[in-house]
Structure 1
Amino acid sequence: MKPVRILIMTFVVALGGIGAGLYWWQQQSDLPEGFSRANGRIEAERVDVALKFGGRIAEVLADEGQMVAAGDIIAQIESTELEAQIRAAEASTRQAEQELAQAKALVAQREGEVTLAKAELKRTETLFTRGYAAGEKLDQRRSQEITAVAALNTARAQVAAAEAAIEASEARVAALKANLADYTLIAPRSGRVQYRLAQPGEVLAAGGKVISLLDLTDVYMDVYLPTDDAGRLRFGAEARLILDAAPQYVIPAYVTFVASEAQFTPKYVETESEREKLMFRVKLQIPVEILSRYQDVVKTGVPGVAIIRVSPEAVWPDTLAVKLP
């Protein structure tokens, strides 16, 4: 009985292969002139959220599969040391402000000394011309005036130095606070969490990835077309996508990219004999307005078939009319 069972199973498998081949041949022969068919997989733009500065993960607020909105907090890095640096910089700012106040008070004092020195010099000069003051006294008054002016200039320089110290300290505080903001990781765009790459307590270096997001408003399929079809293709050309998981639906798409150089087709797309030929990569983008309606069901990695209109004059057959749930 066992050989008979094996023979029956072999016959069923062979019959299935023949049926699949006939179906593929029929699909190819039914394709009108001006259209091209290719296989591909649904992909979405991936965004990796990483650390700008190395540190320990305090908490991760997003789980795999969760939808997040742009600006949502998805992770937090421990920032105790940085917060202490900010407090020290703010204290330096306050100290510089006190030094500025002292320097300004000293300037006022030096200005009074200069005024007094000038007045005494003027009186001594008057007395000297009348013969009531000695020349030595006049020289002393002149020296006092020079010393007072020099002291005033020094005090004014101290004011400028204190102002510069305040500016530098405030800049340091601003820089540290900007760095502190980077210790809170936010979602750069809306999407679904694909991978959670780090857990609380882990220490990551700068550039370490914490969350991987999929932007479900930027979904596309990469396909590969032979030279003849790629050469006739225009940017913005219409396409239709039929996914293996939902063959009853026809999804609209359009061409947004055509490779400038030919390349080999990836193994998962075509047969080995076809991989020996050079093909051009073509990106088919699904419209954002459609993606926004079906974000809950959009999945990446789903294989399917793309039909691209390579000739602008070609008319879409009724079997390829857009059909959505």
Structure 2
Amino acid sequence: MTLKRLLIAVALLAILGTGAAYGWRAMQGNRLPAGFASGNGRIEANEIDIATKYAARVLTIPVEEGDLVEAGAVIATLDTRDLEAQLRSAEAQLRQTRRAREEATALVAQRVSEADFAAKEMERALILFGKGHVAEQRVDQARNSRRTADAALEAAKSHLASAEEAIAAAAGDVDRLADLVADGVLKAPRKARVLYRLSEPGEVLAAGGKAATLLDLSNVYMTVFLPTDTAGNLALGAEARILLDAVPDTAIPATVTFVAPRAQFTPKQVETKSERDRMMFRVKARVPEALVTRYIERVKTGLTGMAYVKLDDKAVWPDWLESKLTRETTSPPQNPPSPPRGEGRGEGDALRDFAENAARSDQASVIPQSTPRSPLTLSPSPGGRGNIPAGERS
């Protein structure tokens, strides 16, 4: 009986020892090496508020929350009948001012002709007065007629200038009202996803009232907070990796695009390894736009996870922070094609070709061909993430 108990105890100790060794190896394998830093955060994107410039009633909102819209897509239309009536009135006023300009132009031409005639009459009167054929009174009359004609010409020119200014003012009113009518159609400024539908047809929005909120998916990033000593060693443009809690086995490539110029108190949702890390720097790790575009239908904001940043350019990413996505973004350029066999190639070249082809065949038979679903729901990468230490994930 004693021997049986001894054997059971030895077996239990062996099982516990094997489990402890396996767990220790797993933790060591997924431990973040030197030259890297991490922080927890959530996927974010810039929000775009689609708002009105003036108070108006909403006619239609053809989009729903979650819809993916292209640049220029109609988000909402407003009731602009009052503005359209004002626009028609302004266009009629513009036509009237143009006719007034035509009349003023004709009047200027008439006054020019009258001024020329008065000038010639004065010249003839002066000649006749010099020869003694007319009295001085005739010269005074001709001089007065010329002055009157010149004054009338200046008045006609001033009237023409006023007509030109009236046309400019009327045209400005037309342009302003036309812009207001056009602003009654609220459009997406860029490709985005509808985050919130904030109004319904029939509602009256005040000036600046929001009809919807869009997410700019051209700038998807994760915001993390790093302590001073870490942020000081972080360079803009440094490589980063994102592991989402929803997809813990697939590393998403990213780039550090922003480091705050000032430290701030640590937000409540941020986990720190030390209570002394009260002042933190905000850091953005942006996902490549090409990758977001490829999986645009599956991109979601608000997903939590961990962001890992490289502090040392010479540091090598651990296997659990590599995936097919990261290898695609950092894959080296392909070698130029080799010359055909028999053209300046010897027996040694042929042997090297045979060895390279054999190696490629072996590698292709070992590596599984899998297609990732999306950067947010992707197939696990070889090696997986495993159990990440509690201090390195949210």
In structure 1, what is the Cα distance between the partners aligned to 2:129 and 2:229?
109
Q: Supply the distance in 2 between the matched residues of 1:26 and 1:277 (Cα, whole angstroms).
A: 28
Report deviation, 1:251.
Answer: 0.8
Deviates more, 1:270-279 or 1:32-41: 270-279
Inter-CA distance 149–228: structure 2 relative to 1 (3 Å threshold): closer
Aligned to 1:55: 56
CA deviation profile, 1:100-125 (whole Å, cap 9, x unmatched) = 12122222322332233334334433
Q: Are the equivalent residues in 1 in contact too, given 2:69–2:192 (CA < 8 A)?
A: yes
Aligned to 2:66: 65
- TM alignment of 1:163-312, pairs within 5 A: 163-270=164-271, 274=275, 277-312=278-313
SS at match of 2:99: helix
Could you tell me which residue of structure 1 aligns to residue 5 of structure 2?
none
* Percent of aligned pairs sharing the same letter: 50
The answer on whether the counterparts of 1:193 and 1:213 sit within 8 Å (CA) in structure 2 is: yes
- Is 1:40 the counterpart of 2:41 in the alignment? yes
User: Is residue 2:160 matched to residue 1:159?
Assistant: yes
Higher relative contact order, structure no. (Cα contacts within 8 Å, ≥ 6 residues apart) = 1
In the TM superposition, residue 273 of structure 1 has moved relative to its aligned partner by: 6.7
Amino acid at match of 2:243: I
Query: Normalising by the residue count of structure 1, what TM-score does the alignment of the two structures yield?
Result: 0.85
Residue of structure 2 equivalent to 1:113:
114
Letter of the structure 1 residue corresponding to residue 259 of structure 2: V
Q: Where does structure 1 differ by over 6 angstroms across 4 or more consecutive aligned residues?
A: none
Instruction: Name the structure 2 match of 1:87.
Output: 88
1:316 is aligned with what amino acid?
W
1:246 is paired with a residue of what secondary structure?
Answer: coil
State the 1:130 CA deviation.
4.1
- 1:213-237 CA-to-partner distances (Å, cap 9, x unmatched) read 1122211111122223222211122
Matched, 1:140 2:134: no
- Between the aligned partners of 1:141 and 1:150, the Cα distance in structure 2 is 14
Q: Confirm or deny: 8 A CA contact 2:250 2:322 kept in the other structure.
A: no
Check 1:274–1:213 CA distance in 2 against 1; reply closer, same or farther (3 A cut): farther
Q: Distance in 2 between matches of 1:27 and 1:40?
A: 24
Distance, in Å, in 2 between the alignment partners of 1:307 and 1:123 is 100
Q: Deviations over 1:48-72 (max 9, x none)?
A: 1111222222221221100001111
Q: Going by fraction, where is strand more abundant, 1 or 2?
A: 1
Q: 1:272 to 1:53 in 2, by over 3 A?
A: farther
Amino acid at match of 1:243: L
Residue 69 of structure 1 contacts residue 189 of structure 1 at CA under 8 Å; is this kept in 2?
Answer: yes
When structure 1 is superposed on structure 2, of 118-127 and 135-144 the one drifting more is 118-127
Name the residue aligned to 2:359.
Answer: none
Contact 2:251 2:322 in 1 (8 A): yes
Cα distance, 1:73 vs. partner? 1.6
Match of 2:367 in 1: none
1:222 and 1:27 mapped to 2: Cα distance? 27
Alignment length (residue pairs): 304
Relative to structure 1, is the Cα distance of residues 154 and 250 closer, same or farther in structure 2, using a 3 angstrom cutoff? same
* Paired position in structure 2 for 1:17: none
**CA distance in 2: counterparts of 1:272 and 1:57, whole angstroms:** 51
Residues 28 and 201 of structure 1: CA distance in aligned 2, closer, same or farther (over 3 Å): farther
Provide the rounded CA distance (Å) in 1 between the counterparts of 2:145 and 2:125: 12
What is the match of residue 99 of structure 1? 100
Q: Provide TM-score, normalisation by structure 2.
A: 0.71
**Partner SS for 2:53:** coil
- 5+ long unaligned stretches in structure 1: 1-21
User: For residues 311 and 120 of structure 1, what CA distance do their matches in structure 2 show?
Assistant: 97
2:30 touches 2:320 (CA, 8 Å); kept in 1? no
Inter-partner Cα distance in structure 2 for 1:287 and 1:312:
19
Gaps of 5+ in 2: 1-22, 326-371, 373-394
Per-residue CA deviation, residues 177-198 of structure 1 (Å, 9 max, x unaligned), is 2232222211011111000111
Structure 1 position 142, deviation (Å): 2.0
CA distance in 1, matches of 2:235, 2:169: 56
